[in-house]
Structure 1
Amino acid sequence: MVFKTDMGNSNGLTVEELQACESYHWYKKFMTECPSGLLTFYEFKKFFGLRNLSEASDAYIMTMFKTFDLNNDGFIDFMEYMAALSLVLKGEVQQKLRWYFKLYDIDRSGCIDREELLMMIKSVRAINGLPSEMSAEDFANMVFEKIDLNGDGELSFKEFVEGVQSDDTLRKTLTETLDLTHIVQKIQGDMMSNS
């Protein structure tokens, strides 16, 4: 496969060469923003343009940071960063649901309770600034009514995954709510304008 440049000239780049070029731009952006090669929580927030957040939103971002910090060393290195980008941009539904569950399970108990879900919904809405027809409380109640099959007030991983996969409305809402591609696209735009 051959791709054309903006000028219409054939540049003969293969898909692999384009992916390598894209990886180079991500690496350049990462190293420009984080010369040490290790992204701290503060740098993570700066990197994604997340400033002046409420306490709840800041807690959500910290949880997100910890889910991307695969080796739990308190930093995100370039490989962890690329794994996170790959998940956000190209991950399969099952992979994203596993990540969403991990993100919502703030206390790492293996279950999501109503308070955890409510806090995450409020935080995500505050960060994304997306309008919603339903209050965060009503949405959390709807989620539990639909997928807390045993009625224990907690969502196990199995209940969460099976419930979200079997309900188009929940799947669509959760996917849109936690969609970070708009942030990634902004970064890509910044990278291309600085090239």
Structure 2
Amino acid sequence: MGNKQGKDGKSKSASDKKYKLDQDTIKKLQESTNFDKVEVKKLYETFSDLSQGGKVPLNRQQFKDGLVKLEQCGLKNLDNSPFGDRLFDLLDTNKDNTVDLQEFVGGLSILCKGTVEEKLELSFKAYDLDGNGYITKNELSQMFQQAWISGFKALSYQTNEEVNRDDLNNFSEEMAQIFAEGAFTSLDVNGDGKLSFSEFKQFALSHPKITATLNGSKKDVPITFD
């Protein structure tokens, strides 16, 4: 038995998969973000494909699947960012453990087309894991570790080289602690053992990065949103 044919000659299952996009919603999203109409429409389509036609918000895995598709929308791929897991938490502004359409498009608007100051503020929130308004040396180290891990994973994929997970975690943790120690010494101007936004801002404006190396191949990973 084959699929039923629709009026346009396409199979019913194929026509059902294409969700109807609400033009009023597209207009409102365009007005409230930095995206143009084409970009908003593509992001809306991506969200709809992942969320049963936009009927339900995205869970963490669906959100990650959405990041992979950003390049298809003409935007930069944020899936390879060390902030992949943190992004979900940052964009979930109402803290209900899901990301709805407004949070999805609005958050990506800052990441892809936001001002320098907006990206700095989001970078600071990414590092401030407990949300207390300051970054500790341990928080800095944890985020640096994720940067190294993402760099090595990208290199492993590019070079088709296997990387032992335990070795990767141990090395990344060691390098992150060393890097965080050095960074904190120069960044913690007032010596109070934590970084304020203004102290972090000086670090972020220097466009910091880590360089992962695997069998002669190198991968630079930005460690703030740029």
Q: Same fold (TM over 0.5)?
A: yes
| Paired position in structure 1 for 2:24 | none
Aligned length: 149
User: 145, 148, 171: which is aligned to 2:185?
Assistant: 145
| Paired position in structure 2 for 1:70 | 93
SS at match of 2:44: helix
1:160 aligns with 2:200: yes
Map 1:68-107 onto structure 2 (within 5 A): 68-107=91-130
User: 41, 57, 69: which is aligned to 2:60?
Assistant: 41
SS at match of 1:115: helix
Change (3 A) 1:162 1:60: closer
CA distance in 2 between counterparts of 1:96 and 1:60 reads 13
Change (3 A) 1:62 1:34: same
- Structure 1 unaligned residues grouped into runs of 5+: 1-15, 50-58, 181-195
Deviation at 1:121, TM superposition (A): 1.1
Q: Which amino acid aligns with 2:209?
A: T
- Tell me, yes or no, if the aligned pair for 2:208 and 2:224 is still in contact at 8 Å: no
- Structure 2 unaligned residues grouped into runs of 5+: 1-29, 69-81, 156-173, 211-220
Q: C-alpha offsets along residues 5-60 of structure 1, whole Å, 9 cap, x if unaligned?
A: xxxxxxxxxxx9x92122111111110012234011122233335xxxxxxxxx96
User: 22, 29, 39: which is aligned to 2:39?
Assistant: 22
Change (3 A) 1:37 1:125: farther
Q: C-alpha offsets along residues 104-123 of structure 1, whole Å, 9 cap, x if unaligned?
A: 11111211111111111111
CA distance in 2 between counterparts of 1:24 and 1:37 reads 18
Q: Which amino acid aligns with 1:158?
A: S
The structure richer in helix per residue is 1
- Tell me, yes or no, if the aligned pair for 2:135 and 2:195 is still in contact at 8 Å: yes
Deviation at 1:148, TM superposition (A): 0.3
Map 1:172-191 onto structure 2 (within 5 A): 172-173=208-209, 176-179=222-225
CA distance in 2 between counterparts of 1:164 and 1:63 reads 17
Bigger radius of gyration:
2
- Tell me, yes or no, if the aligned pair for 2:140 and 2:180 is still in contact at 8 Å: yes
CA distance in 1 between counterparts of 2:47 and 2:204 reads 34
RMSD (Å) for aligned C-alpha atoms: 2.9
SS at match of 2:209: helix
Q: C-alpha offsets along residues 140-174 of structure 1, whole Å, 9 cap, x if unaligned?
A: 12221221011122111222124433xx3xx3438
Change (3 A) 1:39 1:100: same
